[in-house]
């Protein structure tokens, strides 16, 4: 036993030492999509076909998100969205604009920091991630120290943007979503008695819930009951629903992800309870749940920047390319991630950053660029950021009709 | 004479353990001075120290006291929240070193007190029932901290178990613990040196405890409770002693761990984390303190080394876990390893002293 | 009326816990190991049904039978490959291996079927029953789960007490060494136990996902732990105990959600468990073991 363990230790030490010695040159072996495109660098630089000032040196783009564990489904969507955008950009430009690598964080702060450090060893220049709030907070504090530009597609806690002036969000903040939802419900008189079911173990859900209750009170909406569940007891949500029903709620606000929401809709159908359901951006994706009877989601409303059924050209291109590549309809996680990469590409095209700059120089350039530019993508036109890194874009409320999203009047 | 020899043996073994830790520290310091360490590896140093402390302290309960605990992360959580609260409140006003020491002291004491609360009723049970009750305590802590909202304003401290609105904070109020969001915006304070110091303190205390009179009483209880009782050993007292020591160090490790990140959430300290620590203990050898140290370090680094496997990373980790368990613990494998070892030994003996070989 | 409806929700959840707990308790009673991978076998079984029934349109009964076959093979293989080499090793070693197996199954499921949630179509065709002028509805799934749970429990008790294989199980559970000396094939008996436990897991999976339809690689983990708690609650190793423990756990969980706090319902469940164990240290129906020197 002892011998075995010491042998293991020796091996580990050797491995870590070997890793130390070779950071500079061999690290890109491990990345996923980089090696394929890397060889085209030189030719593209020589031909200079695009006529841009941009040099052929690729910008190293790192992504972090959960691709294993309980929240893997959201991380995978982000990963796919980023991958798709990077591949499209590289193919369209004719040379490798972005070198891209994605690391798993299992939705955990410690693992996220490990992933971030691994990407730093790979000489990452821009970070697109992490996906969920707690890992983003832990990584965000580090990026401030390193002056590394961080653009998170979906970590919507307000504290994330407040980490530092180098941290930007592609999604609405939680309080903003809660407030806008309450305003919308009040202004359109969607319900008089409101029930809420939220995930008390989830930062996203509690963040929206808190802001929603405050604003609802200000707007004179009556919240008759607020029921929580957590990640350990979410298999049975019928009691929470029954309590909303018993309290006479005619609108149930669901600031939760679509995985649990689909379960609530099934349970409501079983018990014959038919209030208006209203969700936030986490709800997007519910129609793509395999095996889910989409008729149950009829008339479901949600506040969401993205609709896979959108008619504009950007969205159509994105949705069809995504469906072809990954065999499923993209949700707002994928769309936000896709937009993140394109937003950074916009800065590349404007000649503000290139692969020869250091991560810190890129960060400074992007900070000024992001606070002054306006970006149009799959999640909306004319998106702008304020100095704190929070986004401003037009909120849209969709309602599900005949298995597709329609803009609510 | 034999007693002296035994004593020497254990002292020697302890010195080797300390030696390994100190050597590791020196090597890492030299490498980091020469800028040869990857950020990935240096980022893991503090978690490694925290896990080593956790594994050693859990080994005290599992290996030395012989009771299975599945709630070690609960003590870690109590320590982490108590310590981090102290740090957040004091780091602006008090000198950093004082705030840090206070954070550790408070974290350790909080976890220790919680150890008393859990230990007094629980240690009456045994075996799998004790395991399930510790698991239950761990889950209660997680559930409670997840629903816990704490803040203060000019009128005093506000607390709620429902949501942040029902705390009734004034506009100038500061939220300390925000339910599922936990404590955010913590200034990082842990570093590798603090970690190693904590590891060494843990080792000194635990190893001394094991080799003291109390330690022998504890192992006597583990080996046969009734026999131990019959020779006048106070069962409850020694059981509690081991259990609380274990809890205190878990709390200290929790403080070390949480101060390494800018955010602290209760979710982290769930049943999976308890199991993870237990894996370190079992893989390092139940009752083998040095084994715990090494296993904790290796198994913390392993998933990171497997990053290049991408999607297969955790799959491989699981397989490695199963294979290592069978390889280390299965009686057939142990016999097989012995046979191989003997054959090698015999061959070596043959090569060295070809004439002297005796059947 | 509200109370009744919460109670029925609780019994419905509890009978699912009970079904899973029966599998736990069988394996624990006979093999003396905590099979933490049981919840994940349930998850695998549910995926099999999801594809057989949902995607290929197989008859629900046939899908469940298919899933039982798959789970049985899986359970017996796991026992043979991962647990049997450790039969004489410390019980903790087996526990850790079981956890390794649990991770393994989750990872395999994720690689095979991705982490995207699947919405499970109920295998129960029964219409909900409406009582008291529609004030109280009991879903078909609830009725089927409770009935299935009772039938399986009675069947298991009969099997253990009235068949030669069952007697062998009792003997192995009482004293493995002595049973072997008396000519009982211990390995075969333990394999049979795993086979039965895993087949039960398939049924449990079908009913769990029919009532609570989200299916993901992590679906089995938490119900698995809750069911383990239920088994201990009722007295681990006791078949009626697992049933009682499961039902009570479900009721306590749902009533505390309904009347105390939805945030703290888990803490309350575990607190009740601790109190019960402190009063009755071997669970509600557990056997008291006298330790001799």
CB contact under 8 A, B285 and A1: yes
How high does pLDDT run on average in chain C? 89
CB B294 to CB A9 under 8 A? Answer: yes
Confidence of residue A52 (pLDDT cuts 50, 70, 90): very low
Asked if pLDDT for residue A353 goes beyond 80, the answer is yes
Q: What is the mean pLDDT of residues C79-99?
A: 89
Q: What is the pLDDT of residue C290?
A: 60
Residue A254 contacts B where some CB pair is shorter than 8 Å: no
Chain C residues in contact with B139 (beta carbon < 8 A): 266-267, 270
Residue that is written with structure tokens 């060889």 in the block: A39
Under the banding of pLDDT at 50, 70 and 90, the label for residue B6 is: low
Residues 325-364 of A with CB under 8 A from C: 328
- pTM reported for the whole predicted model: 0.89
pLDDT at B32 over 50: yes
User: What angle separates helix C265-279 from helix C221-234, to the nearest 10 degrees?
Assistant: 30
Distance in angstroms (rounded) separating the CA atoms of residues A161 and A387: 10
Instruction: Name the 3-class secondary structure at B243.
Output: helix
- pLDDT of C137 reads 78
CA dist list (Å): A255 to A203, A236, A399, B8: 11, 17, 15, 64
Q: Which two tokens stand for residue A236?
A: 């049975």
Indicate yes or no: CB of C263 within 8 angstroms of CB of B161: yes
Q: How many CB pairs under 8 A join B and C?
A: 128
Distance from CA of A271 to the nearest CA of B (A): 27
Mapping DSSP to helix (H, G, I), strand (E, B) and coil, where does residue A257 land?
Answer: coil
Cα of A404 vs its chain's centroid, Å: 22
In a mutational test of the A interface, the residue from B36, B38, B284, B316 whose CB has the highest number of chain A CBs within 10 Å is B38
Write down the pLDDT at residue B314.
Answer: 85
Distance CA C51, CA C209 (A): 13
B261 contacts on A by Cβ (under 8 Å):
109-110, 113, 138, 141
Radius of gyration of chain A from its Cα atoms, rounded to whole angstroms: 22
Task: Place A47 in a pLDDT band, splitting at 50, 70 and 90.
Answer: very low
Q: Which residue of C has its CA nearest to A271?
A: C137
Kindly write down the DSSP assignment for every residue of chain C, as one continuous string: -HHHHHHHHHHHHHHHHHHHHHHHHHHHHHH----TTHHHHHHHHHHHHIIIIIIT---HHHHHHHHHHHHHHHHHHHIIIIIGGGTTS-HHHHHHHHHHHHHHHHHHHHHHH-SS-EEPPPS--PPPEEETTTTEEE-HHHHHHHHHHHHHHHHHHHHHHHSHHHHHHHHHHH-HHHHHHTT--HHHHHHHHHHHHHHHHHHHHHHHHHHS-EE-TTTTHHHHHHHHHHHHHH-TT-HHHHHHHHHHHHHHHHHHHHHT-SSSHHHHHHHHHHHHHHHSTT-SSPPPPPP--
- Stretch A384-407: mean pLDDT: 90
Instruction: Identify the pLDDT of residue B351.
Output: 64
- Encoding tokens for residue B240? 């509690």
CATH architecture label of C2-279: Orthogonal Bundle (1.10)
Domains annotated for chain A, with CATH where assigned, are 53-172+313-392 (3.40.50.2300), 175-304 (3.40.50.2300)
Q: Do C92 and B286 touch (CB under 8 A)?
A: yes
Q: How confident is the model over B191-208, as a mean pLDDT? A: 95
Longest Cα–Cα distance in chain C: 64
Does the distance separating the beta carbons of A206 and B294 come in below 8 Å? Answer: no
Which of B49-58, C218-227, C258-267 has maximum average pLDDT? B49-58
Average pLDDT value for residue range B202-225 = 92
- State whether B315 and C108 contact (CB < 8 Å): yes
Percent of all residues in chain A with a pLDDT value above 70, rounded to a whole number: 86
**Among residues 100-139 of chain B, which lie with CB inside 8 Å of chain C?**
121-122, 124-125, 128-129, 132-133, 135-137, 139
Q: What does the pLDDT average to over B128-145?
A: 89
Backbone phi, psi, residue C131, to 5° = -120, 165
pLDDT digits (tens, 9 = 90+) for B297-319: 999 999 898 888 877 888 998 99
d(CA A399, CA A383): 23
Distance CA(B301)–CA(B44), nearest Å, equals: 7
Beta-carbon separation of A266 and C213 below 8 A:
yes
Query: How far, in Å, are B36, B49, B84, B146 from residue B264 at the CA level?
Result: 30, 18, 8, 11
Q: Is B330 on the interface with C (CB under 8 A)?
A: yes
Residue of B nearest to C83 (CA): B326
Selection from A252, A265, A276, A279 nearest residue A180 by Cα: A279
Mean pLDDT of B163-175: 80
The answer on pLDDT for A354 being more than 90 is: no
User: Is the peptide bond between A130 and the residue preceding it cis, with omega within 30 degrees of 0?
Assistant: yes
Which of B324-328, B351-355, C174-178 is predicted with the least confidence, judged by mean pLDDT? B351-355
In terms of pLDDT, which residue wins out, A399 or B165? A399
SS3 state at A242: helix
Looking at residue C289, what is its pLDDT?
63
Q: Is some CB atom of chain C closer than 8 A to the CB atom of A73?
A: yes
For A:303-322, CB contacts with B below 8 A are none
Cβ distance A5 to B262 less than 8 Å, yes or no, reads: no
Chain B, window 253-312: residues with a beta carbon less than 8 angstroms from a chain A beta carbon: 257, 261-263, 265, 267-268, 284-285, 288, 290-291, 294-295, 297-298, 301-302, 304-305, 307-308, 310-311
Q: Which two tokens stand for residue A188?
A: 């359109």
CA distance C33 to chain A (A): 24
pLDDT at C40 over 90: yes
| Model pLDDT, residue C292 | 54
Residue A51 to chain B, least CA–CA distance (Å)? 36
Alpha carbon C190 to its chain's center: 17
pLDDT at A19 over 90: no
How far CA B117 is from CA of A373, B114, B274, in Å, comes to: 58, 5, 19
Mean pLDDT of chain A: 84
Question: Which CATH code of 1.10.287, 2.60.120, 1.10.3470, 3.30.70 fits the domain covering B14-312?
Answer: 1.10.3470
Which of B1-10, B174-183, C111-120 is predicted with the least confidence, judged by mean pLDDT? Answer: B1-10
Average pLDDT over residues B81-93: 92
Judged by CB atoms closer than 8 Å, whether chains meet at C208 and A235 is answered as: yes
CB atoms C116 and A240 under 8 Å: no
In the predicted structure, residue B19 carries a pLDDT above the cut 90: yes
Among B37, B162, B180, B191, pick the best mutation site for testing chain A contact (most A Cβ within 10 A): B180
Chain segment B326-351, per-residue pLDDT in tens: 888 888 888 888 888 888 888 877 76
CB contact under 8 A, B42 and A117: yes
Asked whether the beta carbons of C99 and B277 are under 8 A apart, the reply is no
What is the rounded average pLDDT for all residues in chain B?
A: 89
Give me the percent of chain C exceeding a pLDDT of 90. Answer: 51
Phi and psi of A276, rounded to 5°?
-80, 130
**C-alpha dihedral, B130 to B132 to B136 to B138, nearest 10°:** 80
H or E, element range at A199 = strand A193-199
- Cβ(A219)–Cβ(A182) below 8 Å: yes
- Put simply, whether B326 touches C (Cβ < 8 Å) is yes
Residue B204: per-residue pLDDT = 95
Query: Cβ–Cβ of C225/B328 closer than 8 Å?
Result: no
Candidates B40, B290, B302; nearest CB to A121: B40
Chain C positions touching A228 (Cβ under 8 A) are: 262-263
Tell me what pLDDT residue C133 has: 72
Residue that wins the pLDDT comparison between C88 and B83: B83
* For residues A128-134, average pLDDT: 91
Q: What is the pLDDT of residues A223-246, one digit of tens each?
A: 999 999 988 888 888 889 989 998
Least confident piece of the model among A3-12, C94-103, C105-114: A3-12
d(CA B125, CA C26): 22
pLDDT over 70 at A38, yes or no: no
- Of the candidates A114, A74, A71, A75, the one whose C-alpha atom is nearest the C-alpha of residue A201 is A71
- The average pLDDT across A112-133 equals 93
- Inspect the interface and report whether the beta carbons of B322 and C293 lie closer than 8 Å: no
pLDDT digits (tens, 9 = 90+) for A314-342: 999 999 999 999 988 999 999 999 999 99
């Amino acid at each position: 036993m002892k011998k075995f363990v010491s042998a293991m230790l020796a091996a580990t030490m050797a491995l870590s030492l070997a890793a130390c010695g070779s950071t500079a040159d061999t690290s890109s072996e491990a990345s996923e999509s980089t090696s394929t495109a890397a060889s085209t660098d030189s030719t593209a630089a020589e031909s200079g076909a695009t006529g841009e000032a941009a040099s052929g040196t690729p910008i190293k783009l790192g992504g972090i998100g959960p691709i294993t564990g309980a929240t893997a489904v959201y991380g995978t969507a982000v990963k796919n969205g980023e991958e798709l955008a990077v591949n499209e950009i590289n193919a369209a430009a004719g040379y490798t604009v972005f070198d891209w690598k994605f690391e798993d964080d299992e939705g955990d702060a410690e693992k996220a920091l490990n992933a971030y450090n691994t990407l730093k060893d790979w000489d990452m220049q821009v970070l697109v991630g992490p996906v969920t709030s707690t890992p983003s907070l832990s990584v965000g504090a580090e990026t401030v120290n390193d002056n590394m530009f961080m653009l998170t597609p979906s970590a919507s806690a307000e504290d994330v943007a407040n980490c530092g002036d180098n941290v930007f969000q592609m999604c609405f903040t939680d309080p903003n979503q809660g407030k806008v939802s309450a305003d919308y419900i009040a202004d359109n008189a969607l319900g008089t008695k409101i029930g809420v079911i939220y995930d008390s173990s989830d930062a996203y859900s509690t963040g929206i819930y808190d802001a929603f209750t405050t604003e609802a009170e200000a707007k004179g909406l009556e919240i008759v009951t607020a029921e929580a569940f957590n990640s350990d007891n979410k298999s049975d949500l019928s009691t929470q629903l029954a309590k909303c029903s018993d309290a006479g709620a005619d609108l149930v606000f669901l600031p939760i992800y679509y995985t649990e929401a689909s379960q609530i809709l099934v349970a409501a159908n079983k018990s014959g309870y038919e209030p208006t359901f209203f969700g936030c951006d986490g709800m997007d994706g519910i129609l793509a749940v395999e095996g889910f009877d989409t008729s149950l989601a009829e008339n479901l409303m949600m506040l969401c920047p993205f609709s896979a059924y959108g008619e504009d050209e950007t969205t159509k291109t994105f949705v069809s390319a995504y469906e072809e590549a990954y065999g499923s309809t993209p949700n707002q996680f994928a769309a936000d991630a896709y937009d993140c990469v394109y937003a950074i590409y916009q800065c590349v095209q404007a000649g503000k950053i290139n692969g020869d700059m250091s991560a810190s120089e890129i960060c400074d350039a992007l900070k000024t660029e992001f606070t002054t530019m306006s970006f149009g993508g799959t999640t909306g036109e004319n998106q702008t950021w304020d100095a704190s890194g929070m986004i401003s874009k037009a909120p849209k409320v969709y309602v599900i009709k005949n298995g597709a999203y329609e803009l609510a009047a | 004479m034999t007693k002296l020899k035994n004593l020497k043996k254990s002292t020697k073994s302890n010195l080797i353990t300390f030696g390994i830790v100190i050597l590791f520290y020196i090597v890492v310091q030299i490498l980091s001075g020469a800028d040869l360490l990857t950020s990935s590896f240096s980022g893991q140093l503090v978690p490694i120290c925290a896990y080593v402390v956790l594994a050693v302290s859990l080994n005290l309960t599992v290996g030395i006291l012989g009771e299975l605990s599945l709630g070690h992360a609960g003590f870690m959580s109590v320590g982490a929240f108590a310590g981090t609260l102290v740090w957040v409140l004091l780091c602006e006003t008090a000198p950093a070193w004082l705030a840090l020491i206070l954070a550790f002291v408070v974290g350790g004491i909080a976890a220790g007190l919680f150890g008393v609360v859990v230990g007094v009723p629980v240690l009456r049970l045994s075996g799998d029932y004790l395991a399930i009750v510790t698991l239950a305590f761990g889950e209660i802590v997680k559930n409670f901290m997840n629903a816990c909202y704490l803040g203060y304003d000019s009128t005093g401290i506000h607390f709620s178990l429902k949501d942040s609105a029902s705390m009734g904070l004034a506009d100038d109020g500061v939220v300390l613990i925000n339910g599922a969001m936990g404590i955010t915006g913590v200034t990082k304070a842990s570093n590798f040196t603090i970690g190693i110091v904590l590891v060494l303190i843990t080792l000194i205390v635990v190893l001394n405890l094991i080799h003291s009179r109390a330690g022998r009483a504890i192992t006597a209880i583990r080996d046969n409770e009734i026999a131990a009782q019959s020779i006048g050993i106070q069962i409850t007292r020694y059981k509690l002693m081991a259990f609380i020591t274990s809890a205190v160090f878990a709390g200290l490790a929790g403080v070390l761990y949480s101060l390494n990140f800018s955010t602290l959430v209760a979710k982290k300290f769930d049943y999976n984390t308890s199991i993870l620590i237990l894996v370190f203990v079992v893989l390092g050898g139940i009752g083998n303190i040095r084994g715990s140290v090494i296993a904790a370090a290796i198994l913390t680094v392993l998933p990171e080394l497997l990053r290049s496997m991408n999607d297969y990373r955790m799959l491989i980790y699981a397989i490695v876990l199963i294979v290592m368990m069978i390889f280390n613990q299965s009686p057939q494998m142990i016999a097989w390893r012995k046979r191989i070892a003997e054959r090698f030994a015999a061959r070596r003996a043959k090569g060295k002293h070809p004439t002297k070989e005796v059947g | 009326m509200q109370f009744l409806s919460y109670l029925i929700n609780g019994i419905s959840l509890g009978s699912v816990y009970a079904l899973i707990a029966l599998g736990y308790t069988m394996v624990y009673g006979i093999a003396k190991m905590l099979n933490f991978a049981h919840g994940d076998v349930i998850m695998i079984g549910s995926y099999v049904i999801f594809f057989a029934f949902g995607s290929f349109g197989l008859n629900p009964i046939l899908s469940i039978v298919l899933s039982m076959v798959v789970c049985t093979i899986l359970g017996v293989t796991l026992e043979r490959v991962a647990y049997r080499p450790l039969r004489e090793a410390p019980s903790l070693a087996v526990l850790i291996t079981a956890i390794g197996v649990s991770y393994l199954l989750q990872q395999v499921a994720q690689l095979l079927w991705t982490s995207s949630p699947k919405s499970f179509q109920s295998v129960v065709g029964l219409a909900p029953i409406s009582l008291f002028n529609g004030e109280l509805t009991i879903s078909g799934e609830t009725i089927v789960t409770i009935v299935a749970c009772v039938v399986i429990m009675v069947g298991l008790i009969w099997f253990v007490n009235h068949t030669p294989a069952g007697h062998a199980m009792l003997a192995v559970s009482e004293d493995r060494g002595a049973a072997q000396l008396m000519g009982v094939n211990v390995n075969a008996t333990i394999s049979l136990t795993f086979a039965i436990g895993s087949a039960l897991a398939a049924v449990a999976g079908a009913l769990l996902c029919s009532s609570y339809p989200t299916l993901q690689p992590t679906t089995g983990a938490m119900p698995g732990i809750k069911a383990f708690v239920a088994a201990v609650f009722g007295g681990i190793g006791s078949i009626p105990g697992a049933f009682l423990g499961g039902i009570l756990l479900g009721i306590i969980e749902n009533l505390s959600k309904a009347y105390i706090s939805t945030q703290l319902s888990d803490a309350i469940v575990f607190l009740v468990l601790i109190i019960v164990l402190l009063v009755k240290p071997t669970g509600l129906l557990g056997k008291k073991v006298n330790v001799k020197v």
